[in-house]
Amino acid sequence: MKNDIAVIILAAGKSTRMRSDLPKVLHKLCARPMLGYVLDLVASLKPKQVAAVLGFKQELVRKIIPKGVKIAIQRKLIGTAEAVKSGLSALKGFKGTVLVLYGDAPLLKKETLKKLLDYHIKNDADATLLTAQLNKPAGYGRVIRDKYFSICGIVEEKDADEVEKDIKEINTGIMAFKKESLENNLKYIRPNNRKKEYYLTDIIGILAKKGFLVEAVKADDPQEVLGINTGVELSGANFIMQKRINEKFMQEGVTIVDPATAFISFGTKIGQGTVIYPFTVIERDVKIGKRCSVGPFAHLRESVRLGNEVTAGNFIEMVRARIGAKTFVKHFSYIGDSTLGASVNIGAGTVTANFDGLKKNYTIIKDKVNIGSDTVIVAPARIGRSATTGAGSVVTKNVPDNTVVAGVPARTLRKKR
């Protein structure tokens, strides 16, 4: 059917310009591989079929490919045209529109793709490009138009002459095709360029020359179509993604005092009424309840859960920790591999010594415990309900409920009534 859509995601390339051993598409924005964002976007379009083209270190990349997405392997990494060929071979029995996306453009939004697809289908085009107008187009392929403003081709930066380099309309790499127009013309692409690669972009000139209908849609926001090729571009895209994540939280009722210094990973959950103070770093898999107070200078590492109304204050590091409601961890503490109950007060400078040199050990602190300042809890340890530790204690044994301990190593002083 003409309106059916299949997507090919190109993700086979190396990481040459990133100067990295890791495939480019696995480099992260806000703690998530960039390809993850593209895969989500594709799923939101609900296409009939999806093929991800993998090549360089495909065994690493395939780990993040969800079920239902076909994996096509590009054996020879000789350019984007070859990659599309591999992708097409995975789209068995499909007829309709083929959308080509690049795995290194993670900021793209659904509305923009919809606009491209609607225009492509409405005009019954053979190919429709998503283009963008950039003040600094360096690095991108330039869109060549004739005197009637019809598209006649794309020229890559490396192959462009001075006049072409001045063109500000760029190829975003995102293209929609009539499947048979794509399939039947890929074979005419030749590696006649500086890199000696088979460029998908050459198909536009080939189609235009043969009289096929080539159209273009311009992206409203050029930021969205940023292709990431270098570490500098990665950090630029990370900044934009972080801004999006932070703004979404603010719209949902989270206060972020200084969005420029709130580094919150993709997938973090934060409840309404929580305040994030400046210089806070939140890594992956963190859930924060309602009306909490986090930071300034807090580092919540992976698998932290804060209940409602928790304070995780200044200079706190937490990792693999569950903190019960209304518990205070206010000043310079390390809480790792721990479960804290509700209404616990952790004094300044408390450390859970979780690592014995070989393995991580667990700390349990029950409800209403009072940990004195500068306590070191040598895990494994369990501090019973309503127990207290004196300032400077080094706890090496379990502490029963309602008991006060102090000293180095900590000994029982008395039972509470």
Distance of closest approach, residue 245 Cβ to ligand UD1, in angstroms: 23
Q: Give the residue among 37, 17, 224, 25 at the shortest CA–CA distance from 131.
A: 224
Bond from prior residue into 259 cis (ω within 30 degrees of 0): no
Q: Which of 58, 56, 82, 86 has the alpha carbon at shortest distance from 72?
A: 86
- Distance (Å, whole) CA 177 – CA 135: 28
200 binds, among Mg ion, ligand UD1, none (CB under 5 to 8 A by kind): ligand UD1
Nearest 5°: CA angle at 337, between 336 and 343? 80
> Minimal CA–CA distance to 35: which of 4, 56, 10, 1?
10
Of residues 39, 53, 144, 395, which one binds ligand UD1 by CB under 6 A?
A: 53
Q: Which is nearer to ligand UD1, 79 or 349 (CB)?
A: 79
Is residue 169 at the binding interface for ligand UD1, with CB under 6 A as the rule? no
Among 42, 74, 104, 395, binds Mg ion (CB under 5 A): 104
Residue 152: name its binding partner from ligand UD1, Mg ion, none (Cβ under 5 to 8 Å by kind). none
User: Strand, helix or coil at 245?
Assistant: helix
Measured from the CB of residue 24, what is the shortest distance to Mg ion in angstroms? Answer: 8
**Residue 120 known to be catalytic:** no
In the complex with ligand UD1, the residue whose CB is nearer, 85 or 368, is 85
Instruction: Please give the structure tokens belonging to residue 192.
Output: 């006649």
Site size toward ligand UD1 (CB under 6 A) is 32
Q: Do the strands 28-29 and 403-406 form a parallel or antiparallel pair, or are they unpaired?
A: unpaired
The verdict on 172 binding ligand UD1 (CB under 6 A) reads yes
Q: Does 10 bind ligand UD1 (CB under 6 A)?
A: yes
Q: At closest approach, how far in Å is the CB of 163 from ligand UD1?
A: 17
104 binds ligand UD1 (CB under 6 A): yes
177 binds, among Mg ion, ligand UD1, none (CB under 5 to 8 A by kind): none
318: Cβ contacts below 8 Å, ≥ 6 apart: 298, 299, 300, 301, 304, 312, 329, 334, 335, 336
Q: How far is the CB of 25 from ligand UD1 (least distance, A)?
A: 6
**Residue count, binding to Mg ion (CB under 5 A):** 3
Separation CA 126–CA 11 (nearest Å):
24
Least distance in angstroms from the C-beta of 174 to ligand UD1: 8
Distance CA 150, CA 128 (A): 12
**Contact present, 227 and 104 (Cβ < 8 Å):** yes
Q: Which positions touch ligand UD1 (CB under 6 A)?
A: 10-13, 24-25, 53, 55, 74, 77-80, 82-83, 102-105, 140-141, 154, 156, 170-173, 199-201, 227, 229
Give the residue numbers marked as catalytic.
Answer: 331
> What residues make contact with Mg ion under the rule CB under 5 A?
104, 227, 229
